[in-house]
Amino acid sequence: MTGTGAGENSGIQAGGDIRIDGSAVAVNRSTATTGAPAAADREAAVAELRAAARLLLEQVRSHQDEYEDGEELVDAAERVEAELAEDEPRRGVLLRWLGFLAPGVAATAAVAGDVAAIQDSVTSLF
């Protein structure tokens, strides 16, 4: 963690395009709240999480040939995106598919970091 002075915190840069600052997680250009957000904030955080899932799917598809189980990983990313599109996404379903994705994409640091950030957001939002 880096700080700018006594008691100040400028957040954590987790590498690549992931940044954790207070209760927000930024994945590339998408963010999601990691604390217990208010209803309006939760709605915005879910929208950002959906955007992050779309980006994750694009990344998994673009790296599909680099993964041993590339087709299955793309399928899992598609299931995450589809579940997040529901009115009431199911936390257990999301975490199960993200848990499947995490070790499969570990070879690509940026994608693995995105999966971890999305998992954290799902845990706090649902």
**DSSP letter for each residue of 66-118:** GSTTHHHHHHHHHHHHHHHHSSS--HHHHHHHHHHHHHHTTTSHHHHHHHHHH
pLDDT band at 7 (very low <50, low <70, confident <90, very high): very low
Give residue-wise pLDDT tens across range 51-89. Answer: 999 999 999 999 999 888 999 999 999 999 999 999 999
Contacts of 46 (CB under 8 A, 6+ apart): 32, 84, 89, 125
Report the pLDDT value the prediction gives residue 64, as an integer from 0 to 100.
Answer: 92
Q: What angle do CA 123, 125, 126 make, to 5 degrees?
A: 75
Cα 85 vs. chain centroid, distance in angstroms? 15
Strand partners, 60: none
Least confident of 36-45, 67-76, 95-104: 36-45
Token pair 């994608």 is found at: 111
Please say if the pLDDT value at position 102 is more than 80.
yes
Collapsing DSSP to helix, strand or coil, 24 comes out as strand
Q: How far apart are CA 28 and CA 71, in angstroms?
A: 24
pLDDT band at 21 (very low <50, low <70, confident <90, very high): low
Domain ranges of the chain: 12-125
pLDDT band at 28 (very low <50, low <70, confident <90, very high): low
Cα 110 vs. chain centroid, distance in angstroms? 11
Backbone angles phi, psi at 70, to 5 degrees: -55, -45
What is the pTM for the complete model shown? Answer: 0.64
